[in-house]
Chain A
Amino acid sequence: MILARVVVVVLLLFGVLLLTRLYRSWRGAVITDRPLHPLVPAVLLAGAERTWVVFTTPYCAGCGPVEESLRASDPGARIVRVDATREPALAQAFSVRSAPTAVLADADGLVQARLVGTEAVHRWTAARA
């Protein structure tokens, strides 16, 4: 009886670890520019050559460090934080499914890159270092 229970727990732990890996992988996925993205609104660009729009949520623990990482790695770029829960239409327009999601736009608002998750941002900043 106890052996059967141990087997169940091991299977559950395996499932949790698998889901954790899948979730982290999904969050860490880097999706490059797609023509589906609309232009980043001019009010967010404010005339900057490069603008990072960082979509966050209120309980996102990794969003602040991501913002700082982008700021340090791309000092010439403007960084704008957008709370996806307060701007659901904007978040939906950029297909934001999780936070942090960082969108890089040029001066015309064209999306140059889209990074989903802290790992994707860290990979991007490491590649620039």
Chain B
Amino acid sequence: MASSPRTAPPKAIDPRGPRFNQAVLATVLLVAFVANRPWAVPVLAGCLLAGVVGGPRFGPFLAFYAAVIKPRLAPPGELEDPRPPRFAATVGTVVLAASTVAFVAGNVDVGWALALIVAVLAGLAATSGMCVGCEIYLLVARRRGISVPRHTAGP
């Protein structure tokens, strides 16, 4: 019943990596807000961008998870397609970039509002697994007929 994908699916990833990334992102953004350190916003945007463009090896938090935390955990029960969380990270990068622009333009309130939106959505994804960006990706993928492969059994 399933249709074959148009292109080879990307290598599946451990879903706990993006969760860790989201948890760190939310925590640092909230701490930066309390401490009034807007420079943390472009730094985090850069970290997200590195992961989006270069893959998990280049995202600092994802790389930290893979190198330090993952070896101490049991293998994941399931792997996931990397495209939905990557899309979510892209959306987060764009919003944090807009937040940075707002800070540079002197509109601090708008800057923090955008950053806090990212913090809340990242926190929600980390604590509940409700990834709004991933849902948006799947919605768009369905409408555009993009075939997303089935999840893969973990090692």
Contacts of B153 in A (CB 8 A): 64
Contacts of A15 in B (CB 8 A): 120
Interface pick from A55-63, A71-79, A101-109, A120-128: A55-63
Contact-residue size bin, chain B (C-beta under 8 Å from the other chain):
35 or more
Pair A43/B15 contact, Cβ less than 8 Å: no
- Please measure, in the bound complex, the distance between the C-alpha atom of A9 and the C-alpha atom of B148, giving whole angstroms: 37
Pair B147/A23 contact, Cβ less than 8 Å: no
Tell whether B101 is near chain A: CB-to-CB under 8 Å. Answer: no
Please report the total number of A residues contacting B with Cβ < 8 Å. Answer: 34
Pair B148/A85 contact, Cβ less than 8 Å: yes
- Please measure, in the bound complex, the distance between the C-alpha atom of A113 and the C-alpha atom of B131, giving whole angstroms: 27
One of B35, B80, B147 near A59 (C-beta < 8 A): B80
Contacts of B151 in A (CB 8 A): 56-61, 63-64
Q: How many A-B residue pairs have CB under 8 A?
A: 97
Tell whether A37 is near chain B: CB-to-CB under 8 Å. Answer: no
Pair A5/B36 contact, Cβ less than 8 Å: yes
- Contacts A12-B30, A60-B80, A64-B77 given; indicate if A83 touches B85 (C-beta within 8 A): no
Contacts of A6 in B (CB 8 A): 34
One of A9, A24, A65 near B128 (C-beta < 8 A): A24
Measured between C-beta atoms, what is the minimum distance from B8 to chain A in Å? 14
